[in-house]
Amino acid sequence: MEWMNTGSRSKSEAEVDRLVRGVINAPDFCAEDLQGFGAHRENSRIDTANKKSPLDDGFHVASVTIEIPTGEPTNLETSRQYSVPGLHYRKLLSVIKAAFQEPISRHFHLTPFSLMHRSPITGVEQRVYGELYNSDAFIKEHHRVQNRSRPPPDDPGCKLEKVIAALMFWSDSTHLTNFGTAKLWPVYLFFGNLSKYIRSRPSSGACNHLAYIPSVCIHHYLWFALSSISSTASGLI
């Protein structure tokens, strides 16, 4: 109780009960195992184990070169190049192929259409925009592909149906654990061929992981900031 009521205020009675019942009273609990324990080190071990997960299958690793302005007052267009390693990505075509082989692809809308609503009171028709596959852009592109698209070079007599794969991209920082420090910045892909009422369900499996953007080491930013301040100060003097 002293531990619960001191230190951090985020420890609730329910969490203390869970600690006692689920950890201390567990049959395999051994106090000697906590000798030299460090939460940060153990979280790092978990992060290392997660990197060996089979979920990495199909991902490639590459380095990306970025340009950062130097901030020199004499030439605002100058920049330095930095190589950022650790970009994990999947090839876009392989993601599309995999998605069309998944059971959820049965719900894909491959032929666009205009959605109209007729008022039961006035009888006036009105165009309704609610999905990507009934938008003007999708319909226009669909007709362009049907009329102008050439057969694949390796199969000039191909008679297969030609359809549009509408790709929708998002990206946002994501924490991987409730208590750890591990985080990723994923790039994920949804298909606009799927209705938003299916796509937005957490259990639908409609999200496709496309890439993971690496975090840049903070000392690079500090070096750049100090360099910019130094250059600016020299210019003012």
Does residue 219 have a pLDDT over 70?
Answer: no
Burial class (CB in 10 A: 0-12, 13-18, 19+), 164: buried
Which one-letter amino acid corresponds to residue 17? D
Q: For the segment 65-119, what is each residue's pLDDT rounded down to a tens digit?
A: 888 777 676 666 777 888 888 888 999 998 999 899 888 999 999 999 999 999 9
Confidence of residue 150 (pLDDT cuts 50, 70, 90): confident
Does residue 124 have a pLDDT over 70?
Answer: yes
Sign for the CA dihedral angle at 210, 170, 215, 64 comes to positive
Mean of the pLDDT values across residues 156-181?
83
CB-CB neighbours of 227 under 10 Å: 15
Paired with 187 in beta bridges are 171, 211
pLDDT at 159: 80
CA 29 to chain centre: 38
The token pair that represents 142 in the structure block: 């669909």
Tell me 87's DSSP state.
E
Report long-range pairs for 231-237 (Cβ below 8 Å, ≥24 apart): 231/70, 231/71, 231/72, 231/73, 232/71, 232/73, 235/72, 235/73, 235/74, 236/73
Determine if the pTM surpasses 0.75.
Answer: no
Confidence of residue 234 (pLDDT cuts 50, 70, 90): very low
Among candidates 200, 210, 208, 212, which has minimal Cα distance to 173?
212
